A and B are shown apart, each in its own frame.
Chain A
């Protein structure tokens, strides 16, 4: 029996096994409100875990949820149904804050290194003026395919999905390279599945979300009930948030952040928050990068050609322009905030910092201290002082 047929047989069995329902179902059925809160990502961690423990094995509740997922407009679930960004972010901070003795490592990479940008505010401002109108290199990851899949009715999506199931797990790395090399319009759902399967899978990627704090935040935050609402807002903000509010131009703070960024850059699993002077913001949540175009706007998940956790640092010179660098010479840039394309690497070394002035010009710093500069979006790199 050849491998494709074996794969088919295995998929058929998986389908049969899940359609037959799982093992012992834990806990009560989900009521409509819990299901609604779950799909809006509004349950706190214990409630979410309890719901998922039940959902994992209860075919009926899965069916309800699937129906709900089908009839929910994309925009109402995509960005967490209006959960304030700081609330989700808060859990992200608490983990390093409580686990690591070091302070929560929030990387402000608008100015990643002191030496990288001499007068940060000026440069950032000038790049804002230039705006995000740079032409975008051909995308590698087929965002259009993503949109098509989004809108395609189920029946047409299904055959492709079947094909994906057949080829996915055995997809050789070679295939990924081919997919990378041929830019995207023809890249199908199947190939993207295969591509994704071939991506490096660091352990952090499996964690659905930062582990919930079992203990409450350290308590300057312990609120008097009477001040509940204000206090929550303030605790949600935590230092970095407050800083962001102030102004990107407070140079002393920036150099401090630059140092922090340098120290944290090697730990790619640490928190990653990047803010543009316009208030646009990128953050790493779970295994994804999320983007909010302005202060208080909802986050949408960005499309990356690599796993989010290989990213070590970023720099956002203007509203929707953002650069990321990471392990093994990864350099990514986006001009619309959500679609990132991979640029050629200056060297096959880990990159730990980046300082960008616009969508074409950036200086990256390698782990070994070398620095490289491009002024044409990565087509050419030259050693930088």
Chain B
């Protein structure tokens, strides 16, 4: 609110949105609501809106009634809080249980709830976390997103503090496979090719693959997140995977590897599930050597 821009929402629009939001039912004045809308616009556009049609799309996509409720809650309106407690607090706690059924995320929900209620700042004004809600999504999804963000942040922080206690055992598994002299080089070749093949995919393709391989979402969850049908997700995943693999093999061929050597690359990574060993990278690969084609 401090960096109030010269841009202002025009009165007629502000009045109309205020009415559509039924903000007066929570005692939110037009002025307060307008300032909230302006902050939201600023936040979404990273400054003043320049394109009127984009602004129009933005304003028309807002969840105005929920924004008005958030506005009223931030102001401490009693009726609005009653409504929030009745309709939204259960959503918050359900989300916490969905994150951790054993109740481990409950404190995150408590903390968020307290922040929504507002903390008294040094200057005596109450600041509510509702200020970060601008109506671009539903209030329920926003609450879930804040909670999801905090739980991920916490998990990451705790991973950083607890230094990898039981990640070693996997190292024992691949020991059985005898390593060829080119093992390290093959691993590096394949991983480098894979990294660049993945980077050549469109962002959405990469995201789809990441949701599946790294985040381990189900096809249905990916479909809902990306707004695609489950069958489309499945088809696109298969397609992207095929593309990446063809790209990798092509890159390996371009490096002078024949089919047998490419097969060895795959065998090498199969026997080496661990993270990329830096020594493999630092060790020069020994140049291109087309005669490395030994069959497995």
Contact = CB atoms under 8 A, between A and B. Distances in A.
A44 B238 contact: no
Contacts of B203: 49, 52-53, 55-57
Contact of A226 (B16, B212, B213, B231): B16
A161 interface: yes
A307 B222 CA distance: 18
A228 B9 CA distance: 12
B269 A13 contact: yes
Interface in B235-279: 235-239, 241-242, 244-245, 248, 263-264, 266-267, 269-270, 273, 275-276
A34 B273 contact: no
Contacts of A384: none
Contact of A42 (B10, B54, B137, B228): B137
Contacts of A304: 231
Contacts of B199: 22-23
A118 interface: no
A158 B20 CA distance: 46
B151 A19 contact: no
B224 A74 contact: yes
Contact of B232 (A20, A78, A205): A205
A216 interface: yes
Interface stretch (A101-109, A195-203, A320-328, A342-350): A195-203
Given A63-B215, A68-B144, A226-B16, A78 B149 contact: no
A43 B195 CA distance: 29
A1 B215 contact: no
Interface residues of A, number: 103
B95 interface: yes
B263 A17 contact: no
A211 interface: no
B220 A150 contact: yes
Nearest to B243: A169
A136 interface: no
A302 B20 CA distance: 33
Interface stretch (B58-66, B72-80, B81-89, B119-127): B58-66
Looking at B12, B141, B191, B270, which has the most chain A CB atoms within 10 Å of its CB? B141
8 interchain residue pairs of minimum CB distance = A226-B12, A36-B137, A216-B53, A66-B215, A56-B203, A18-B214, A9-B270, A197-B238
Given A32-B146, A150-B220, A224-B12, 5 more contacts: A32-B145, A67-B151, A77-B141, A287-B229, A288-B229
9 contacts: A9-B269, A10-B241, A16-B275, A36-B141, A46-B54, A67-B152, A68-B141, A70-B221, A158-B216
Interface of A: 1, 5-6, 8-20, 22-23, 31-37, 39-44, 46-47, 49, 52-53, 55-57, 59-60, 62-72, 74, 76-78, 80-83, 87, 141, 146, 149-150, 152, 154, 157-158, 161, 164-165, 168-169, 189, 192-193, 196-197, 199, 201, 205-206, 208-209, 216-217, 222-226, 228-229, 232, 286-288, 301-304, 307
Interface of B: 10, 12-13, 16-17, 20, 44, 52-54, 56-61, 95, 98-99, 132-134, 136-138, 140-142, 144-149, 151-152, 155-156, 190-191, 194-195, 198-199, 203-207, 209-232, 234-239, 241-242, 244-245, 248, 263-264, 266-267, 269-270, 273, 275-276, 296
